[in-house]
Structure 1
Amino acid sequence: MKRLVKLYFLLAVALVAVALSSCDSDVIYDKYNHTPLVGWEKNDTLSFDVPPVKDAGRYRLELGLRTSTSFPFTGLSLVVEHTVEPGHMLYTDTVNCRLADEKGNVLGNGVSCFQYNFIVSDISLNKGDSLHICVRHIMKREIMPGISDVGLKLTRR
C-alpha cells in the first residue's frame, strides 16, 4: 500500500513539474543560429523565417545573443531587418548591445559563456502575416570573434 502511495505521489509531482515547465503560450517563435566562435564575418547575414501568425495583434521581437570570454569589446552593433509578408514591408532596426560596463564587468548571465536579451521592436501583425528576418553586425572589425549564437524570439503582447 505504501508503495502505491509513493507511486501516486511521484506521479503527481511529475505532472506538476511538467505543467510548470510547459511552453509559454505567448511565444510564437524562438530560434538561435550558430556562428563560428573564431569569427562572425561582416558579410555573413543570419536569416530567420517566422511562420504565419494565427492571430492579428501586437508582437515583440527580441534578439538573443550568446558570447564567450573571447569577445573583445564591451558592445556590439547589429542591424535587424524584418520583412512582413505578404506585402513586402521592410523595417530596419539598429540594435546597440551593451555587453559589459565601463569597468569591463560582463552584463550577461553565465560563467564562461554569456546570454543576453535585447528588445528589437514592437510590431503589429495581421492574421497570416509571416516574417523574414536578417541579422548582421556592423562593427568596424570585419571578423567578430567570441559570438557563438544569435537568436530571435517573437512573443504576443
Structure 2
Amino acid sequence: MRSKLVLLGILCLCFSCTDQLVYSEYSALEDAQWQRTDTLSFDLDVQDTLNVHNIYINLRNNEAYPFSNLFLITTFRGPSGETAVDTLEYAMAKPNGEWLGEGRGGLKESRLWFRENIVFPESGVYNLKVTHAMRENGVVEGLEVLSGVTDLGIELERLD
C-alpha cells in the first residue's frame, strides 16, 4: 500500500506542474536583520522572448518577524533601461496569527507573485532591486531594521 502511495505522489508531481524553473537566487540577511538601507539586487539574464514567464519573490522568515504583512519597494529595469518602480504589499499571516507560507517549525518560506504571465519584450539582463518599506503604525519614518527575514530570493519560471 505504501509503495502505491509513493508512486501516486511521484505521478502527481510529474503531471501536475508544467512550470520550468529558469533562474533561482537567494540573498541571506545577516542575523535575520534587514536594514532599511539594504537594497537586494538580482540580475536575470533572459534570452527567451517567446514563452510566457512568472517571476516570484521568495521570502524566508522566522518567528521573530513582527508583522502580519510585508511592504516592498521594487525597481525592475530592462536591458534598454526602461524602469518600473512599485510598492507591493503581501500578507504574511492569517488573521489568527498563523504564518502563511511553507515550512515546519520556526522558518517559513513565502512565494510572492512579482510578475505573472509575462513575455519579455527583449533579450538581455533584467535587474530587480528590492528594499523593505515597513514602518510601525502611526510612525512616519520607516523601520530602520526589519527583524525575522532570513533570506530573500527571486525565481523565474517558464510556463509551458
What is the TM-score with the length of structure 1 in the denominator? 0.77
Identical positions, percent: 24
Tell me the distance in 2 between the aligned counterparts of 1:46 and 1:60.
Answer: 19
- Structure 1 runs of 4+ aligned residues shifted over 6 Å read none
Gaps of 5+ in 1: 1-15
- Preserved CA contact (<8 Å) 1:36 1:147: no
The alpha-carbon deviation at position 92 of structure 1 amounts to 2.1
The alpha-carbon deviation at position 71 of structure 1 amounts to 0.7
Tell me the distance in 1 between the aligned counterparts of 2:102 and 2:43.
Answer: 27
Which residue identity is paired with 1:48? F
Query: Which residue is 1:149 aligned to?
Result: 151
Tell me the distance in 2 between the aligned counterparts of 1:46 and 1:138.
Answer: 13
Q: Is the partner of 1:153 in helix, strand or coil? A: strand
1:8-157, aligned counterparts within 5 Å? 26-85=20-79, 87-110=80-103, 111-122=105-116, 123-140=118-135, 141-157=143-159
Give CA-to-partner distance per residue, 1:20-58, whole Å, 9 cap, x none: 6xxx87222111111123421111000001113234343
Gaps of 5+ in 2: 1-9, 136-142
* Count of residues in Structure 1 that have an aligned counterpart in Structure 2: 137
- Preserved CA contact (<8 Å) 2:49 2:119: no
Structure 1 vs Structure 2 CA RMSD: 2.2
Which residue identity is paired with 2:124? D
What is the TM-score with the length of structure 2 in the denominator? 0.76
Tell me the distance in 2 between the aligned counterparts of 1:145 and 1:133.
Answer: 22
Q: Is the partner of 2:25 in helix, strand or coil? A: strand
